Structure 1
Amino acid sequence: MNKGIQTIIYPVQDLAKSKTLFGRLLGVEPTADTPYYVGFSVGGQDIGLDPNGHRHGQNGPTAYHHVDDIEGTVQALLEAGAEMVQDIEGVGDGKRIAVLKDMDGNIIGLTQTP
């Protein structure tokens, strides 16, 4: 089941400066603050900053669809013509993500939480 887009991740080059900028934009302190990810939560929406995003091919924000079955969703999208960009991987606390792109090059993020 797809629970909709609840997370948007921005690839950033300077995590400290981006954390300051997004903190001011969103008006809240980070809910996660590590050297590999800074996250904010505003109105039921998670906004994340990823200093490794550009290395994973992200050139702009990626919207993540929250799904119950990430393997099944990835397989269904691949069968429908999507291409894998970033394989399913764990990112901590049992959360897993994957990134695909559609036939037009649009990025599709998937996430599954325990």
Structure 2
Amino acid sequence: MRGFATLNIWADDVEAAEKWYAEFLGQDAYFHRNGPDGKLAYAEFRIGDFEAELGIIDRRWAPAASVAGPGGAIMHWHVDDLEGTVERLLALGAKEYQKITPQGDSGFVTASVVDPFGNVLGVMTNPHYVAITDGVKNPQ
């Protein structure tokens, strides 16, 4: 595996989810795809230093064994202001899933929320991520 490429989440109302994420991210989705019924079925954002993709898919196309609501693995996005980001997510209607939690004493701190569409969104401060991106932006 060479790195995170695309994170897909599910929503019953892709249009509403796209608007919510656009508000949170401060940018519009760059790609849209309608389903056979003409209704928005997929919206995608490019986010962060490496333009990681966040795709919102109509829940009608979720795998048959998937369940609605939080569960499974949590993918954490690095943020520079963890407390401010969590406060903003909660103000936009997300619900706390995991409170801000230091992971030892080396600067790794995680938190997660459930977005209004039932998806877990993890955020964290990650010293390793900062070291890697600083090396890319300022190679020695």
TM-score category of the 2 structures, normalised to the smaller one: 0.3 to 0.5
Question: Could you say which structure has the higher strand fraction?
Answer: 1
Query: TM-score, normalized by length of structure 1?
Result: 0.47
Task: Flag the structure with larger Rg.
Answer: 2
TM-score (norm 2): 0.39
